[in-house]
Structure 1
Amino acid sequence: MRLSRLARRCLAATSLAPVLALALSGPGAQAQTASPRVLRVAPHADLKTLDPVFASIVITRMHGMAIYETLFAWDSNLQPKPQMVEHYTTAPDGLSWSFTLRPGLRFHDGQPVTSRDVVASLHRWMARDVVGGKLKEYMAALEVTDDRSFTLRLQRPFALVPFALGSAIGQIPAIMRESDARTDPTTAVTQTIGSGPFRFNRADWQSGARIVYDRNPDYQPRAEPADGLAGGRVVKLDRVEWIIMPDPATAAAALQTGEIDIWEQPAQDLIPTVARNRDIRVERPTNLSNQAVLRPNHLLPPFNDPRARLALAYATDQADFMAAAFGDEQWWARCQSYFICGSPNGTEAGAEGYARPNLDTARRLLAESGYRGERVVINTTSEIAPIGRMAEVAVSALRQIGMNVEADFADWGTAVARVRKREPVAQGGWNIFITTSSGPTMQSPLTNLGTNMSCDRAWIGWPCDEESERLRNAVVDAPDEAARKLATEALHRRLAEVQPYRVLGQYDQPYARRANVHGLLNAPVMVFWNIEKN
């Protein structure tokens, strides 16, 4: 007799019980099991990289938001508000910005946060991030004034300075100690000394099983109410534990029994099961849908030729990817917009022709690109189930147009490490990477890291197109919203021609929480201040 998918997962959950036991063991675990001051969360992936300026992956960003702070922070409407900054002024010509830090800011080792730490941190961030890189293009100088004050001088006005300094996408502008921020931008910082509301508990960290954050007793939150990532970051818990549960059935069972309090990204096919439990709530974390991305490596054949990238667009049906990854259509939609359908920048201009597959056109374009059957590798993982399932759909779709393609599955940390390689496939490189990104990340031409086509400064895949960058600059420089909308549409038409990546559709990824957990904020990533457990 064949088992149903859910039955097979529940059987797998039994075999993973020792993993859960390990995660819930360790110093002091027995005393904390029933404590309302300890929050246990099943995150979507294990934490491998500790530096949120080095890596743009969501799990590292969640970690970064817990232990570090930024100068500004986005509220629930994605508007920037001062966070580490006490006050700031702008010169009438817009070419000089002066900032003063809040008093009482201290790193977890007791050192005060100074302007020297800020300047070093921002320089490193600008060398890594799409938003930081754009700010750097406008910058003339970044100077320390005194221990709490610094000045940003610009070559030309850049009205989005506070928005950029509060960025919650890509590599975040986390303020580190100067000694850590002096680390080469291409090398990950392994220290975890921030000034944020939580401290990373390295002693209780068990790779592959548990990540632990303790409340920072010395942290002084802002006085304003919490709103998105902005306002007072008041920690109402003693400890947050991330319990790594690769199997969805294990996480579903743990949530229903109360062994965990939050499941950050529940598997879509198990949402109806957990939602029927009267002690569980299933909710959306933000107002914008997320985006699924098929990213080709623009440095290597065949996708260094735009015709091969167009072939990807014509060969792929968004519905196949979304249904495989996210199940019921109530959770997903077709959308050809790089900037999220339903967002202020959501336009499908120029991309209308990719709404349905055209395999004949895809085959022709692939042949014209010079492709002759060379091996194409999709660097992927089954650890994050939707990504693995989309990789399988991609293999099937691309084989239909004659591509010699295979998926190379690894754990998420290994896949993320590999994606930074620029070498040929034979030397450990890759051709295609499938991932997802939040709506707040992708909704703006400034923050959408995938549409940055600035060559070596671009996100992985390293697309290069001078005209796209000219049009993206026109969006940033637009004098008003009407002009910005027209500039965004022109940019989108160009992106549809050169295909920095294939949009695979958009979807809603809810979280699930126990009913006795309250205060989760509407934010681009899940954060753990403001949360209460009773």
Structure 2
Amino acid sequence: MTPSTLTLQNLLPHPTRRQWAGVVLALGLAAGPLAAVAAPTTLKIIPHSNVTVLDPIWTTAYISRNFGYMIYDTLFGTDAKGAIKPQMVDRWSVSKDGKTWTFTLREGLAFHDGKPVTSEDVVASLKRWASRDTFGGQLAKGLAGYETPDAKTFVLKFNEPFGLVLEALGKPSANVPFIMPKRVADTPGDTQIKETVGSGPYMFKADEFRPGDKLVFVKNTAYKPRAEPPSGTTGGKQVHVDRVEWLIIRDAQTQLNALLNGEADILEQPAFEQYATLRSKPEIQLIDAQPAGSQFILRFNHLHPPFNNEKIRRAAMLALGQEAFLKAQVGAPGLMRFCKSMFPCGTPFESSSTGAYTGTADPAKAKALLAEAGYKGEPVVLMRPTDLSAITKLPLVAKQQLEAAGFKVDLQTMDWQTLVARRAKKDLPSAGGWNVFMTSWTASDILNPLTMAMMNASGDKGWFGWQDDPTLQDIKLRFSKAGSDAEKKQLAEQAQLRAFETVSHVPVGQYNQPAAVRQGITGLVPAGAQVYWNIRKP
């Protein structure tokens, strides 16, 4: 019996079976099919990290991107084959000279507060996104302006043709051009938003948010999915559960126990050493939601010594070898791959033209270059997150390899969200800033020079690390105007060679990390990002 029938039965003085049937029938006639109402379905997910930043434009952190996909929608998306498809947009047209793009929003778009999505909301959102995103910034540079002729139409007017408009608007990963209400999107890009109001498939329950413990989302019953089947970040975002809970569990073993005990349905990123156990459990299935893989990288702070010196960055690059990183951090057979290309191996712009970078550690050569560069023994502040199992061992390897080349390394531990906040600071390393951090990027984020945050070499307005390199920026501009795939390939290779020459960052290995999902949970969509529509739970 349901709780409702138990309560009613207790109220009756020992009813007969016939009397009880009459009560149920009467209730059914008076109030609808009460007995047929199912209990709310709750999907429980252990995300890959804690969530402290609820603004997916302010940060490129993937947990904030995943949060964004829960509650916001996008103008376009990228399907499983890499094709750009409309999402919030119904139709669009391009002028003969290629300079004017006109878009019309589809019917029925509304924010969670009940207000319709308008072209002014879209333009404000795009402006804020472009102020933070590498690809968006490149698009904005070519714009003569925006126009909003009516509530459902917005226009992008370019000074000259920009060949990657749809690719920019359909960018599947950080920073994703999510659409927000204008009053929210008018917040400057370097300031975090204070409201979480979207128009997407779920609504965030701010009143149930327990930082460091749990986030709750409920189905947006007013959401109107597209008719197409889901593919990547495109198609119908059908929601088949009533409620989604993100359970913040920082310890990897506790995460695993929660999944195996049925306290959670999905473990987003198991620790690499857990895959052998997971493969032996018949009640668990491994689903790779990001089949193109991800790449580990080491990023320098270009503002402060010692890495404001290009030669010293190059010495550090020569000191780093991928094999040690992959063995220490991944180790699991079949999940790791040596790849010295900045653009992931197996993707269109993969290139073996990497200049001085071999991907193999050469401490002797690094030490000689370090002495030539005049390194003065400044301590290198290397930040290490202790609660993100996917990357927590990387800084330990970096410390060992850098010290073997003669660097003095100050390894500072913290949780991931503290690192995310600290990497945004331009202070001196001795005053709360930093010199080096390590992270990973899903392949969909680093497919070309415009989507790769580490190639944003626009100085103070660039990505954390703040490289200033007009030459690299010019190559990217030419890439955005390229008229053929062959020309794009050539320019992507030029951009990579320039980035290795100036040592924007160092790729230290490629890997895959499938999600662990309990049997019976179906519909997880491979998307190049973690998305949670289309899922069914018995």
TM-score (norm. length: structure 1): 0.92
From 504, 511, 526, give the equivalent of 1:507. Answer: 511
Matches of 2:50 and 2:73 in 1, distance apart?
22
From 33, 41, 45, give the equivalent of 2:45. Answer: 41
From 113, 117, 138, give the equivalent of 1:113. Answer: 117
Matches of 2:203 and 2:354 in 1, distance apart?
47
Q: Deviation digits for residues 471-510 of structure 1, max 9, x if unmatched?
A: 2222222211112112222222222211110111111111
Matches of 2:83 and 2:74 in 1, distance apart?
14
Q: Secondary structure at the match of 2:390?
A: helix
From 136, 141, 148, give the equivalent of 2:152. Answer: 148
Q: Which residue of 1 aligns with 2:176?
A: 172
Matches of 1:273 and 1:331 in 2, distance apart?
15
Matches of 1:286 and 1:444 in 2, distance apart?
17
210-219 vs 74-83, greater mean Cα deviation: 74-83
Q: What is the letter of the counterpart of residue 171 of structure 1? A: N
Q: Which residue of 2 aligns with 1:297?
A: 301
Q: CA deviation at 1:415?
A: 0.8
Equivalent pair of 1:42/1:244 in contact (CA under 8 Å): yes
Q: CA deviation at 1:353?
A: 4.3
Q: Which residue of 1 aligns with 2:404?
A: 400
Q: Which residue of 2 aligns with 1:533?
A: 537
Identity %: 39
Q: Which residue of 2 aligns with 1:409?
A: 413
Equivalent pair of 2:92/2:104 in contact (CA under 8 Å): yes
Equivalent pair of 2:40/2:243 in contact (CA under 8 Å): no
Q: Which residue of 1 aligns with 2:278?
A: 274
Q: What is the letter of the counterpart of residue 364 of structure 1? A: A
Q: CA deviation at 1:218?
A: 0.7
Please say if 1:319 is aligned against 2:323: yes
Q: Which residue of 2 aligns with 1:221?
A: 225
Alignment map for 1:166-245 (pairs within 5 Å)? 166-245=170-249
Q: Select the structure of larger CA radius of gyration.
A: 2
Q: Which residue of 2 aligns with 1:365?
A: 369
Matches of 1:282 and 1:429 in 2, distance apart?
39
Equivalent pair of 2:340/2:357 in contact (CA under 8 Å): no
Q: Secondary structure at the match of 1:330?
A: coil
Q: CA deviation at 1:329?
A: 4.1
Q: Deviation digits for residues 360-404 of structure 1, max 9, x if unmatched?
A: 221122223332111110122111123221111111111111211
Alignment map for 1:330-341 (pairs within 5 Å)? 330-341=334-345
Matches of 1:414 and 1:275 in 2, distance apart?
33
Matches of 2:430 and 2:160 in 1, distance apart?
45
Q: CA deviation at 1:190?
A: 2.1
Q: Which residue of 2 aligns with 1:489?
A: 493
Alignment map for 1:59-74 (pairs within 5 Å)? 59-74=63-78
From 30, 52, 58, give the equivalent of 2:56. Answer: 52
Matches of 1:497 and 1:35 in 2, distance apart?
60
Q: Which residue of 2 aligns with 1:452?
A: 456
Count residues in correspondence: 501
Q: What is the letter of the counterpart of residue 470 of structure 1? A: D
Equivalent pair of 2:56/2:64 in contact (CA under 8 Å): yes
Q: CA deviation at 1:80?
A: 1.4
Q: Secondary structure at the match of 1:385?
A: coil
Matches of 1:450 and 1:384 in 2, distance apart?
21
Q: CA deviation at 1:35?
A: 6.3
Matches of 1:207 and 1:35 in 2, distance apart?
27
Equivalent pair of 1:133/1:457 in contact (CA under 8 Å): no
203-212 vs 91-100, greater mean Cα deviation: 203-212
Structure 2: gaps spanning 5 or more residues? 1-37
Q: Which residue of 2 aligns with 1:5?
A: none
94-103 vs 370-379, greater mean Cα deviation: 370-379
Q: What is the letter of the counterpart of residue 353 of structure 2? A: A
Equivalent pair of 1:130/1:170 in contact (CA under 8 Å): no
Q: CA deviation at 1:76?
A: 1.1
Specify whether residues 324 and 197 from structure 1 end up closer, same or farther in structure 2 by C-alpha distance, changes over 3 A only. Answer: same
Q: CA deviation at 1:327?
A: 1.5
Matches of 1:271 and 1:385 in 2, distance apart?
13
Q: What is the letter of the counterpart of residue 409 of structure 1? A: T
Q: Secondary structure at the match of 1:107?
A: coil
Matches of 1:353 and 1:379 in 2, distance apart?
23
Runs of 4+ in 1 over 4 A off after TM superposition: none
Q: Which residue of 1 aligns with 2:126?
A: 122
Q: CA deviation at 1:170?
A: 2.3
Matches of 2:119 and 2:143 in 1, distance apart?
17
Please say if 1:95 is aligned against 2:94: no
Structure 1: gaps spanning 5 or more residues? 1-33
Equivalent pair of 1:88/1:98 in contact (CA under 8 Å): yes
